[in-house]
Amino acid sequence: MAKASLQQLRNSAKSEGKGAAPVKAAAKAKTEPAAAVPAEAPRVRQIHKVGEVNISAYFPAQVKASLRMVQAKTGNNVKDCLAEALRDLFRKHNVPASVELGEGR
């Protein structure tokens, strides 16, 4: 759309043969009122798993490789492997888990 109106200004400037013609042509050109764009409502953060939260951290690539090896040996998914590790950590530090970590989800 912008290219079309620029082209019209250019053509009108050529036809008038004046240096300041694009400005005059722009003033003369009838512009359509901009359509009112409805303001988008603020996005609500989507919860993927009801009752659960995401816990994440960055580790070296070797940690992921080791986790994948444990996953291959046990046949568990990553979530189950991490849940087992967290249960062991909580037991080691005598910290109760307020809810049981999900198994097989």
Do 26 and 59 fall into the same domain? no
Q: Is residue 36 part of a domain?
A: no
CA 56 to chain centre: 17
Q: Is residue 91 part of a domain?
A: yes
Q: For residue 5, what are the domain limits?
A: 1-30
Encoding tokens for residue 12? 């009108």
pTM higher than 0.75? no
Do 25 and 59 fall into the same domain? no
pLDDT tens digits, residue range 30-62?
Answer: 566 666 666 777 777 666 778 888 889 999 999
Domains contained in the chain, number: 2
Do 16 and 60 fall into the same domain? no
| pLDDT higher than 70, residue 7 | yes
Q: Is residue 85 part of a domain?
A: yes
Does 97 or 4 have the greater pLDDT score? Answer: 97
Please, what is the average pLDDT of the chain? 77
Q: How far apart are CA 59 and CA 56, in angstroms?
A: 10
| Mean predicted confidence (pLDDT) in 61-66 | 97
